[in-house]
Amino acid sequence: MVFSACRYRELWTATGGGDVGKTTILDALALLLHPTNTYPLSGADYWQRKVDSEFVIEAVGSLEGVAAISQASEMNWPWQWDGDQTVLPSEDNPDDADNTESGDPVHRLRVRGTMELETVYEVVQPNLTVTNFSVGLRRAIGLIRLAWVPAALDATRGRHPQGMLRKEGPFGPSVELLVI
């Protein structure tokens, strides 16, 4: 898979040739942050249609400023990000979520596709237990908008057709993604 992703201001772009995985990654993120529990799965959503092997989509992200993470019915403890991977919080002060000695606080979020063609949304805790990744929390994080850009995009000047990308989703700030 060869493609590149970069961030320009508040816009993330993914570029690359055909059939390198850009849309697959965006579809996975859209499923991970789907704002309801009614996402219909089919056998085509599973690798080689092997439903019995299930699937897992996991992402790591900072939820700083997302109040819903602290308002969940279960405590969602943060991991630390060391620049390459998630690590356990500092042993010196494991209760200090703001401890920057071992990195920024992040959360591991995942969705699993079960053999029963159901989605299970989870937050992975530092002790490897899981809590529910609630609809409210997914809505607070924001929706992903996938924008297909026509050939008329003037990339040299950074212009795009008005209204193609949005700054706010129906439940708060959105992640903006542009696929070229």
pLDDT in tens, 108-167: 999 999 999 999 999 999 999 999 999 988 888 876 454 544 444 444 344 444 333 333
Taking residues 90-111, report their average pLDDT. 68
CB 58 within 8 Å of CB 109: yes
Is residue 49 classed exposed, middle or buried when 0-12, 13-18 and 19+ CB atoms within 10 A define those classes?
Answer: exposed
Q: Is the pLDDT of residue 54 over 80?
A: yes
Using DSSP, state whether 177 is helix, strand or coil: strand
Whole-angstrom distance, CA of residue 101 vs CA of residue 88: 12
Phi and psi angles of residue 133, each rounded to the nearest 5 degrees, phi first: -90, 90
Q: What is the mean pLDDT of the chain?
A: 74
In a 13 Å sphere around the CA of 156, the CA atoms on its Cβ side amount to: 1
Q: What is the mean pLDDT of residues 66-78?
A: 83
pLDDT at 24 over 50: yes
> Which of 14-23, 39-48, 121-130 is predicted least confidently?
14-23
State yes or no: pLDDT of 170 exceeds 90: no
H or E element, residue 137: helix 135-141
- Please tell me the pTM assigned to this model: 0.70
pLDDT attached to residue 110: 94
Euclidean distance between CA atoms 167 and 94, whole angstroms: 36
